[in-house]
Each structure stands twice: as C-alpha cells, then as structure tokens.
Amino acid sequence: MKVLVACEFSGIVREAFKKIGHDAWSCDLIPTEIPGKHIQHDVLDVIYQNEREINFKGVPHSFDLMIAHPPCTHLAVSGARWFKNKQKEQKDAIDFFMKLINAPIEKICVENPVSIMSTKYRKPDQYIQPWQFGHKRTKKTCLWLKNLPLLKPTKIVEPEYILYGSKKNKSGVSKYDKLWGPLPPSDDRGKLRSTTFYGIAEAMAKQWGFRMEMI
C-alpha cells in the first residue's frame, strides 16, 4: 500500500507504516527528523503532481491512504482570542485543510486539535487522547475520516499532570495542566505539540494498514 503522511517532519507515522511493509512517504516544508522517504516540498504539489505536471523522482504519482496533519495555528479554538487579527491566515488555513480532506485519495485521515473546522466543515468522526494509546498525556485530537474505521484504543493508562501554572482553580490545579499535561512552556513547544505519539502512529498503521491489506 502506498501511504502519504502529509505535513509530517517527525517521520513517526511514516516509519510505523514502513515497519509493517508499506511504501510510506512523509512530506513537509522542513526536513525529516528520522531519515527515510521524505519529500521536502508543498504537499499539494505531491498530491496533484499529475495535474500540475510536476515529477518527483521515485515518488508515487498516486496514494492509497493519506494521513494529514495540517498546521493548526490559525484553526485551533485555543487561539480564538487572536482570530480577528488573522482573518486572511485563517482563510488560507481553512482552504488548505479542505484541499487535503478533498484530495483524490481513497482513504484519508485529517487530524487537528479541537478547531473551528468542526463548524467550518463538519464535526470530526472521533476524538482521541494519547492516554488511550499508552501515553500518560492529554491532548484531545480530532480525526476526520474518509473510508476508514474509527481508531480503537490500544492501551488505556491514567494521565499524569505536572503543576507549573500560577493560576489555580478551586481544586488547586493549574488551569494549564489539563491542556499541556507534562509538557511545560518552551521555545519549541509548538513543534513538540505537533508530533504524533508513537502509540497513536502504531495504532494507525496496524489497524488501517492491516485492514486495508485484507480488503
């Protein structure tokens, strides 16, 4: 099966599919962190390379499955306070999201945190959390699916929190703990937050990869 992981620099999802025998490629504007089949380019050119008459040497001209992680900076509801100041950026982000979900690929998963796409497009097919896949972290993530089954939890664990915020609720817990889990503020937090958890990547590969091979 030919798999495209759109907007992935970590290589985690790509390698999960490669591990079980699929021809998996990642694509992002920045280099991959794990050496492998990575296209450092605009993913829309890769998806529509036939129509745009672009040839990427050695890269498939079509894919059976795409898992996409479009940037959420201008979509996530956690940044709603700044929406009025970035309307063009938000429109561009919505357009990019829709081009991914409407790509000419049979099986598609587009993931994002809780965002305005629930109203601009439609509600997601499911919400997942890292703690459902063996990671003691919280990060509510939406999955919009096309011709794919819901992702089943593989290892449910109790999430852990680290206190670092100064504003506490009535229970004495920082209002940021539940959102960020054990990942405190840092210069590269945005990049770290966009990286897929290994447990989720493995579940995608095993459940969607094996399932599709049997169809």
Overall number of domains in the chain: 1
Buried b (16+ CB within 10 A) or exposed e, 160-173: ebeeebeeeeeeee
> What separation in angstroms does the CA of 89 have from each of 9, 64, 72?
22, 30, 11
53 falls within a domain: yes
The Cβ of residue 1 has, within 10 Å, a number of other Cβ atoms equal to 17
The pTM of this model reads 0.83
Domain of 87?
A: 2-160+194-214
81 falls within a domain: yes
Q: Give tens-digit pLDDT for 101-140.
A: 999 999 999 999 988 899 999 999 999 999 999 999 999 9
108 falls within a domain: yes
| 8 A C-beta contact, residue 197 and residue 129 | no
Output the tens digit of pLDDT for each of the chain's 215 residues: 999 999 999 999 999 999 999 999 999 999 999 999 999 999 999 999 989 999 999 999 999 999 999 988 767 766 555 566 678 888 999 999 999 999 999 999 999 998 889 999 999 999 999 999 999 999 999 999 999 999 999 999 998 876 555 555 555 554 444 444 444 444 444 444 457 899 999 999 999 997 544 44
185 falls within a domain: no
Q: Give tens-digit pLDDT for 160-176.
A: 876 555 555 555 554 44
Two structure tokens written together for 33: 């962190």
175 falls within a domain: no
Alpha helices in the chain (DSSP H): 12-19, 43-47, 87-101, 117-120, 177-180, 189-193, 198-204, 210-214
Report the alpha-carbon distance of residue 52 to residue 86 in Å, rounded: 29
170 falls within a domain: no
Domain containing 112 — which CATH number? 3.40.50
Two structure tokens written together for 67: 């898992």
> What separation in angstroms does the CA of 49 have from each of 45, 59, 61, 83, 146?
5, 10, 7, 33, 21
